[in-house]
Every structure is written in C-alpha cells, then in structure tokens.
C-alpha cells in the first residue's frame, strides 16, 4: 500500500483485496475507510470475506445479489452499494 487514497492489497497468501483501507486525512485526524472486495457471485462469497476478516476484522464483499450482514464482513449487492454512493 502507498499513500494513495484508493489502494489494493495483496495478502501473504497472494489474495488480492480490491479496495484496501489507506489513511485518508480528515479534520479529526487520519481515518481508514472500510475495506471492500468485489466478487460478481451469487454464492461462495464467504471465502473472500474470511480474508477481509482475518486482515481487518471486517469489511464489505460486493456481490452480484447477496445481502448478508450477519458476519463482521458484510455481503452487499453491487446495485445497493451504487445507490448508497449516490
């Protein structure tokens, strides 16, 4: 990771995280955004979520159509994330 505002991370097991948290300046000090991994899947997203949970204790896996917020890493359908960013 570098001092970019958007970064990706490759873990020790060679897994890649699409949007890894990098420090972002704010009036109250440096903040880390939520890590995000995108997988266009309808099932099997927990494997990716486990990598986020192991490295960062939580985050978001953006999926094709899975909505599951029962774990430290949530699955959100890509259209829902797009609406939240609007």
pLDDT digits (tens, 9 = 90+) for 23-68: 888 899 988 888 999 999 999 999 889 988 988 899 999 999 999 9
Q: Which residue has the higher pLDDT, 10 or 70?
A: 70
- Domains in the chain, number: 1
Residue 44 lies in a domain: yes
Which residue range forms the structural domain that includes residue 24? Answer: 7-85
Nearest alpha carbon to residue 32 among 68, 10, 75, 1: 1
Residue 1 lies in a domain: no
Residue 1, pLDDT above cutoff 70: no
Residue 81 lies in a domain: yes
d(CA 45, CA 84) in angstroms, rounded, equals 20
Q: Mean pLDDT check: name the lowest of 2-16, 51-65, 67-81.
A: 2-16
Q: Which residue has the higher pLDDT, 83 or 9?
A: 83
Residue 2 lies in a domain: no
Q: Is 24 helix (H, G, I), strand (E, B) or coil?
A: strand
Q: Under a CB-based contact definition with an 8 Å cutoff, are residues 17 and 55 in contact?
A: yes
Residue 72 lies in a domain: yes
């Amino acid at each position: 990771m570098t001092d970019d505002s958007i970064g990706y991370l490759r873990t020790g097991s060679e897994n890649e995280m699409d949007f890894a948290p990098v420090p972002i300046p704010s009036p109250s000090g440096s903040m880390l955004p939520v890590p995000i991994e995108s997988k266009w899947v309808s099932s099997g997203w927990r494997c990716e979520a486990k990598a986020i949970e192991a490295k960062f204790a939580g985050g978001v896996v953006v999926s094709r159509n899975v909505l599951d917020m029962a774990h430290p890493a949530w699955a959100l359908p890509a259209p829902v994330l797009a609406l939240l960013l609007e």
